[in-house]
């Protein structure tokens, strides 16, 4: 697994352009954090959730339409508040309404992650 991640971080592409063989090197600077781990420690639903980002409230559809522009709207403390709303359901909402209100938070976050470790959006 580690070797695969390292190989993915730096990849080379060889193309023939105008009869000349050219090398292009791509360097990916990822954090190497696992999506499942990040979602788990921040209390987010599993990867099948429509809410995909650990930093903002983007849904899969919104993120697919806008891959670049977004802002960080989540914090660890806000995820804690959302968990309390999920747990208590103070407005007596249905599961779907409640899920939309808490934007994918369904467990108590137990480690405060850094905004830089999200790789989803």
What are the boundaries of each domain within the chain? 34-117
Average pLDDT for 6-25? 78
Which residues have CB under 8 Å from 115's CB, separation 6+? 55, 72
Burial class (CB in 10 A: 0-12, 13-18, 19+), 65: exposed
Going by C-alpha positions, the residue among 36, 28, 23 that lies closest to residue 7 is 28
pLDDT grade for 119, boundaries at 50, 70 and 90: very low
Task: Work out the end-to-end distance of the chain between its first and last CA atoms, rounded to an integer number of angstroms.
Answer: 23
What residues are paired with 16 via a beta bridge? Answer: 21
Report the percentage of the chain scoring pLDDT > 70.
69
């Amino acid at each position: 697994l580690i070797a695969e991640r390292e190989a993915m971080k730096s990849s080379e592409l060889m193309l023939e352009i105008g009869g000349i063989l050219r090398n292009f090197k791509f360097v990916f600077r990822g954090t190497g954090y696992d999506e499942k781990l990040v979602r788990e420690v921040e209390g987010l639903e599993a990867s099948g959730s429509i809410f995909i980002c650990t930093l903002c409230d983007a849904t899969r559809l919104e993120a697919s339409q806008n891959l670049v522009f977004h802002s960080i709207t989540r914090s660890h403390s806000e995820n804690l508040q959302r968990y309390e709303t999920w747990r208590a359901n103070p407005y007596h909402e249905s599961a779907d309404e409640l899920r939309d209100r808490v934007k994918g938070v369904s467990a108590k976050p137990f480690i405060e992650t850094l905004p830089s470790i999200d790789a989803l959006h």
